[in-house]
Structure 1
């Protein structure tokens, strides 16, 4: 169910502590906004000097108000913050919005003080936003406790940046978007991003949730909450390009960056991950109407070849496809258009739109009705014919009237189907384009924005999508993670390995050769990267070759022990790498890809949160650039993908059940026509 945040968003009464007549103080801006909704609930202004603030009588303290306060906004100097919080709780406050700064963001002493305040708030049964935040607003309850006014709409913005909210306010306007709520996250000492995400998912006035977060205290909890939100979640985050701060000790760690982890978590949770405020606006505009494409097949419509080709390229770059239209659809288009029009896809009116704007509407109708089309991208000059006929404002005339009529017909065809339609226009603010926007059809000036918008509506085609699998209960912890110890633990979990024995000298080496026959593999133990150290010898045909290799390796490395293993036949298999890296924010993150000694050089890998089901593992493998190898190439047989996905499930479930493991890796995992063999493994304790 999540925490009860009703007192934050719809309190019975509000008090602004630190209200001021001084425009330079934040308490002035908050107070001015708060009293806008005075008819909805009592709003009290508190200033320690009393007197008047904004023409209203100000109480010198919360206690002096003489009645309980449901929500208190605290905007006072840091020295008086603790006393103000305690007084608010003493006056019955169920919610606190802590504007005051000077806590965890200043260092350890500030963090400890912040923690103590949060503990007192929770002990009183209250909730607190902040400290070090810029307030909140809820347009659905007329609660205005931030310094700015937000246009009403369906987007809840949860942000670590106040300036971003102002930018989005400007970017939203052309798309008729607005805010249901705005919350400045601050230091999240009590109420967290996850708490707010869960509450907004239950909020009837919110259709989509936009998040700007610079870090995730509990990234996995965020992913789980987003996956269960039941409405679009769009994330703009910073710092995704930095590599993990911890020094990686395995290929998995070396190949995993912060960007990989965040991208994988968002894909698994169904979160739309964006890179800029502009892209965030584009995605929200596309998703605001609730339309979703059944697939990724797009029909492109234009009245000029150049726009159509550019739009088709942009659609494919966004992960969509632009397939050739089927004969019945092409025939219907030929009947509606003139002879020189192109009807394969892109569909090019070839100048007919200028003669007959209604041709746009007829073509849109045919494309939306086509079974082979999941969405339509209309691009180019539409919106400009009226301007050409009557000036920038579209001052009347037959062409202007025809374009306006076409826009109305397009809107009607759009209402009659569930398929998304997105428009790119050179004249996005023209009257005809405003008609489309008012009908819920997103209109963009840039072609790449229109393509990104359609991609946001499309059914996820990325291989890792499918929700966030809960973590298993922790297993008995491993105390040692040497090569053979890790191998035995994985074998016990169900992962097959070739026969192997640990040897310390030549007598034990001879005993092994009587136990199983060659060819053999010899590996030094107690070395994390055995190949790099020259501690691996493969394809040793019999006892003599094994003994010679042992003597040479031991002379060179002097290791205390070695592993002798039955050498697997590599001729008909594919080498994969399967690893799990424990991220401090998102927990265990799995990596699956092409393995062997060239794993880092090839970098053909995919990421997802662990544990990984066999079904999801299959999608990850099929999404690799080298996926064709799985089905056999140049006379090689196809490999046992079912066994490979089962192995991925086993490895990642094992890692997820052992939180003491920082990194674990099986490389290579040999996938053969029948079954798999794990040829090497390593693990690192946290």
Structure 2
């Protein structure tokens, strides 16, 4: 259920407890900001010494104000925080912002204090941001309760770092980026990142939600909220390269890192995952452009348009690195371009003016218009010298002699490009050697993202053309918890999966020669013999394949038992491996995101090849098929060099069943089927392992 945060972002009155005239204290910075809009709502300053603060009378306590206060900011030493919270609740506060530090981040005792405070706040029907946060701001309601000013705009910034928020503000200024809201997340004792994403999704003035998070809390709930937001969410996070805490007793555990988990969650939720503040700024600049919401179906086919071959080639590479495609344009489109350009222009893609811009600056606009009108083009990346003619006239050190005529023509071309773009549902991004030139400012002023770096332009365009999810369609709900697994051994896991419809060869567990021979009578050879209760049985020499008859099976058992001395063995019918491909299907339970599936090439070389894909579990069959076909070796599934195609639909259905089982058993830390044999006539699980948490 969505929480009502109206009192947090649009309170009727505000008090700053710990307001100070001392610039070294945070209570001074917050109080200074709070007084920027005194006409919007009453702003009360509280200092235990009373007197005046920042030229305004300060109350000695909240009670001394003499009237209820809806939102209270607390910036006092740690020892006085709980008492200040109690005073705020007593005076009717419905929202509290806790600046004070020294709670969960300080250790177990601080965590216990924090939980107790949060319980009191919730019991009173109020909400708490923090503690250990740096404040909030909402430009749409003139609420300024953070130390920094944020230029108004459409980006809601939710950050665990104040310095990073400041950097994003500084980087965004040249692109005209502004902010609807800023919230410092702090320790998320009560109001969580999930609550804030959901509230910003409902906030009409917010067009993009930007998040810097180190602790997601409930990562799966964050992914679901982001998927359901109905507007872009951009995530910058830290610690992607370190492995999550896990037992790693299976291939699945060894393959999965926290980076894989976060990336999988973002893919499933449609979140734009970025690696640096610069990349976040680039993506935000693209998504904040007026054309951002057009063409919601998305599409990765882009046209590169240049006035020089070098820039075109570099831009095409950058586009493909960003996940875009730069296909050769069709004959009809090339014909239309020939009608706009001169003979030496290249029209295949990249499209190159080849000097025509100096003869006819309006050729820039004509070419952009033709490309935007092409059905086979989803977006346009214009790169190179555009802006240089006007830069020369504007004294920016660019452009050839000839000056004013070319500059005026280029500026007219910029205005015409803006007109062509207004009539198109497709995005245009520009890379220019002269991004601050008058003509580029015309483009930027109309909402066209302009960058000085080719890779930035390509990344922005990739974000602008990415399809947006309609709700949480790729995050399947977790099933209800099932009866806990009683037997985590090999045959117990097989039975659990088989009961869910996962097919296995016939098998029987044995502990001595007599049971071995009885098992051989249950089904025909050839046989497989496995030593149980060993990690990585193949590596230990605990698997014997293609045993043709009872005699061979008995001989293999005697040799293996003498060498390994295992307490139990499994006798199984040998599967037909011809024309088959071995896959791995695993599920690892992440402490933040819950069950995460890994799907890829299986067998003994799984960890070496590392051709795997990740998704939040459970994984519906349709999504499973996408993961399989997206593997580097995905083409093998459709048959190569005379090999037949395998039954991808059958494999996908089994993947769905395996991941459903894992998701329904929270006591299972890792569940793995390796290999899952997929053949032209179906799929068969050949081995299984579970690790309890």
TM-score strictly above 0.5: yes
Correspondence for 2:661: 654
Which residue of 1 is the match for residue 13 of structure 2?
A: 13
In the TM superposition, 1:248-263 aligns within 5 A as: 248-263=248-263
Question: Per-residue CA shift, 1:544-592, capped at 9, x if unaligned?
Answer: 1101000001111111211100001111111100000000000000010
**Contact 1:522 1:537 survives alignment (8 Å):** yes
- Aligned 8 A contact 1:358 1:403 in 2: yes
CA 1:488/1:390 → structure 2, altered by over 3 Å: closer, same or farther? closer
> C-alpha distance in 1, partners of 2:305/2:39?
51
Instruction: Indicate the larger mover: 576-585 or 323-332.
Output: 323-332
Establish whether residue 599 from structure 1 lines up as the match of residue 606 from structure 2.
Answer: yes
2:270–2:468: 8 Å Cα contact kept in structure 1?
no
Asked if the contact 1:466–1:616 (Cα under 8 Å) also holds between the matched residues in 2, the reply is: no
What's 1:162 paired with?
A: 162
Output aligned runs, 1:233-248, within 5 Å: 233-248=233-248
Query: 1:7 and 1:459 mapped to 2: Cα distance?
Result: 35
Shift in Å at residue 458 of structure 1?
2.2
2:531 aligned partner: 524
Secondary structure (helix, strand or coil) at the match of 2:509 reads strand
Q: Quick one: which of 358, 374, 380 aligns to 1:354? A: 358
Q: Distance in 1 between matches of 2:671 and 2:483?
A: 16
- CA distances 1:402-438 after superposition (whole Å, capped 9, x unpaired): 1110000000001000101000001111111111011
| Residue 376 of structure 1, aligned match among 377, 380, 400 | 380
TM-score, normalised on structure 2? 0.97
1:320 matched to 2:324: yes
SS at match of 1:336: coil
Indicate the residue corresponding to 2:433 in structure 1: 426
Distance 1:356 1:572 in 2: 61
What does residue 174 of structure 1 align with? 174
Q: CA deviation at 1:472?
A: 0.5
1:299/1:373 contact within 8 Å kept? yes
State the Cα distance separating 1:368 from its structure 2 match.
Answer: 0.4
* Alpha-carbon distance, 1:460 to partner: 4.8
Q: What is the alpha-carbon root mean square deviation over aligned residues?
A: 1.4
Query: Residue in 2 aligned with 1:148?
Result: 148
1:299 pairs with 2:300: no
8 Å CA contact 1:394, 1:430 repeated in 2: no
Could you tell me how far apart the structure 1 residues matched to 2:265 and 2:207 are? 22
**1:626 corresponds to 2:633:** yes
Which of 340, 343, 363 in structure 2 is aligned with 1:339?
343
Q: Which moved more, 1:509-518 or 1:538-547?
A: 509-518
Superposition misfits of 4+ residues, deviation over 6 angstroms: 393-396
Residues 291 and 425 of structure 1: is their aligned pair in 2 closer, same or farther, counting only changes over 3 Å? farther
1:33 alignment partner, SS class: helix
- C-alpha distance in 2 between matches for 1:423 and 1:548: 72
Per-residue deviation, 1:394: 8.8
Which residue of 1 is the match for residue 105 of structure 2?
A: 105
The aligned runs of 1:166-565 (5 Å cut-off) are 166-288=166-288, 289=290, 290-292=292-294, 294-389=298-393, 391-392=395-396, 397-460=404-467, 467-565=474-572
Write the distance in 1 (CA, Å) between the matches of 2:227 and 2:653: 24
Structure 2 residue matching 1:486: 3-state secondary structure: helix
Residue equivalent to 1:68: 68
How many Å apart are 1:328 and its aligned residue? Answer: 1.6
Cα contact 2:74–2:96 (8 A) shared by 1: yes
**Structure 2 Cα separation of the partners of residues 117 and 524 of structure 1:** 55
> Is the CA contact 2:172–2:281 (under 8 Å) kept in the aligned structure 1?
yes
C-alpha spacing 1:519/1:534, structure 2 compared with 1 (3 Å):
same
- CA gap 1:394/1:306 in 2 versus in 1, 3 angstroms: closer
**Per-residue deviation, residues 268-302 of structure 1 (Å, max 9, x unmatched):** 00000000111111111111122455311111111
Deviations 1:81-116 (A, max 9, x none): 111110010000000011011111111111111111
Distance 1:466 1:126, change over 3 A: closer
Q: CA offsets, 1:197-248, max 9 Å, x none?
A: 1110000110000000012111001001101001000000000011122230
Mapped to 2, the partners of 1:491 and 1:261 lie a distance apart of: 27
Give 1:448 deviation, angstroms: 0.2
- Give the equivalent residue in structure 1 for 2:38: 38
SS in 2 for 1:36: coil
* In structure 2, C-alpha distance between the alignment counterparts of 1:278 and 1:461, rounded to whole Å: 22
Q: Which runs of 5+ in 1 are unaligned?
A: none
Say if 2:394 and 2:437, in contact at 8 Å, map to a contact too.
no
1:96 correspondence with 2:96: yes
The 5 A counterparts of 1:132-147 are 132-147=132-147
- The question of whether the paired residues in 2 share the 8 Å contact of 1:393 and 1:431 is answered with no
Instruction: Give the superposition deviation at 1:467.
Output: 2.0
Equivalent-residue separation in structure 2 for 1:318 and 1:68 (angstroms): 53
| Whole-angstrom distance in 2 between the partners of 1:245 and 1:231 | 32
* Contact 1:298 1:322 survives alignment (8 Å): yes
Matched residue, 1:567: 574
TM-score (norm 1): 0.98
